[in-house]
């Protein structure tokens, strides 16, 4: 199957499954590989509930630094092309592992955040989950006195059931899945493309490097997110639904 056969414009329910690689072009470091966040920081000290319980201020210092950094970045070409595709094909869904909010800032509306968002905080009291874009935070404490927690999925945290169900519904009904910039090493997120593959739906992987799942995709586009999405965009011949 070549790219013309996969023409985006004929599809009605595209799922984009994205990882840190798409935001690398916004200047946000990935997690693994050269310059990856987990090479500089031990996740056991910064990205798990135990670390937070041990030293919430240290975890918040790290997290706030990342919020401030991401706030200074802007969406990249890849984020923008996906948002444009959603305008042409309203059945488009983004399932992202990223917590940076870049897809929404680029204009995507139908975004499922598997690993939560750095722009939300939560507390176990009845405050629940709240959007919070303050940089810096006005307070790290909830009105109830407890520490607010970033509403992100840390190592060993379960995924939110409702979120995973939404993602499953999208991938079980999509007619094309395009994976961009993920090492496919974190489960259960990495299972998302497998579901489309089992359904024999065409699947495309965009990545400068091969991953463990590369052999199973219909098409592997070796390259960076913006450049490869541009290539797909150029092959899109739009048809009216
Ligand atoms: P990784 O850092 O594991 O992988 C990033 C992927 O992006 C690699 O496969 C790179 O080859 C690829 N990449 C790099 N630059 C790219 C570019 N310009 N265009 C396209 N691809 C590029 O990031 P994720 O797979 O997203 O979890 O990591 C998954 C999860 O692990 C994250 O959501 C995070 C982390 O621990 C949580 O924070 C819960």
Ligand 1 atom nearest residue 97's Cα: 33
Q: Which two tokens stand for residue 43?
A: 């996740």
For residue 241, the model assigns a pLDDT of 39
Kindly report the protein residue whose alpha carbon is nearest to atom 16 of ligand 1: 21
In Å, how far are 45, 69, 150, 228 from 63, measured between CA atoms?
12, 10, 8, 31
Quick one: 1-26+75-115+160-241 is in which CATH superfamily?
Answer: TPP-binding domain (3.40.50.1220)
Active site residues: 115
CATH of 29-72+117-152, one of 3.30.1600.10, 3.20.20.140, 2.40.30.170, 3.40.50.2000: 3.30.1600.10
Residue 146 has pLDDT above 60, yes or no: yes
The edge-to-edge listing of strands for the beta sheet with 116-123 is 128-131, 116-123, 149-152
Q: Where are the beta strands (DSSP E) in 53-115?
A: 93-96, 111-113
DSSP 217: S
* Cis? peptide before 233, omega within 30° of 0: no
pLDDT in tens, 194-212: 999 999 999 999 999 999 9
Ligand 1 atom nearest residue 184's Cα: 25
Ligand 1 neighbours (beta carbon < 6 A): 19-21, 24-25, 30-33, 36, 97, 115, 153, 180-183, 185-186, 206-209, 211, 224-225
For residue 6, the model assigns a pLDDT of 64
Structure-derived torsion over alpha carbons of residues 124, 129, 130, 132, reported in degrees to the nearest 10: 80
pLDDT in tens, 63-114: 999 999 999 999 999 999 999 999 989 999 999 999 999 999 999 999 999 9
Q: Round to whole Å and give the CA distance between 44 and 50.
A: 8
Ligand 1 atom nearest residue 181's Cα: 21
For residue 201, the model assigns a pLDDT of 95
């Amino acid at each position: 199957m070549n790219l013309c056969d996969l023409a985006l414009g004929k599809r009605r329910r595209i799922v984009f499954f994205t990882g840190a690689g798409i935001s690398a072009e916004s200047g946000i470091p990935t997690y693994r590989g050269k310059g990856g966040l987990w090479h500089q920081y031990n996740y056991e000290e910064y990205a798990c509930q135990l670390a937070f319980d041990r030293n919430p201020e240290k975890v918040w210092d790290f997290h706030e630094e990342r919020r401030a950094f991401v706030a200074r970045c802007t969406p990249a070409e890849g984020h923008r092309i996906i948002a444009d595709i959603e305008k042409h094909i309203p059945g488009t869904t983004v399932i992202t592992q990223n917590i940076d909010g870049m897809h929404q800032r680029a204009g995507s509306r139908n975004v499922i955040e598997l690993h939560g968002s750095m722009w939300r905080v939560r507390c176990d009291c009845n405050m629940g989950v709240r959007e919070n874009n303050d940089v810096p935070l006005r307070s790290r404490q909830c009105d109830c006195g407890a520490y607010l927690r970033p509403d992100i999925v840390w190592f060993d945290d379960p995924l939110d059931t409702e979120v995973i169900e939404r993602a499953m519904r999208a991938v079980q009904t999509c007619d094309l899945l395009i994976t961009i910039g993920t090492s496919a090493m974190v489960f259960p997120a990495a299972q998302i493309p497998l579901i489309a593959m089992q359904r024999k739906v065409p699947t495309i992987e965009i990545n400068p490097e091969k991953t463990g799942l590369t052999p199973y995709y219909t098409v592997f586009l070796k390259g960076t997110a913006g450049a490869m999405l541009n290539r797909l965009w150029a092959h899109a011949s739009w048809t009216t639904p």
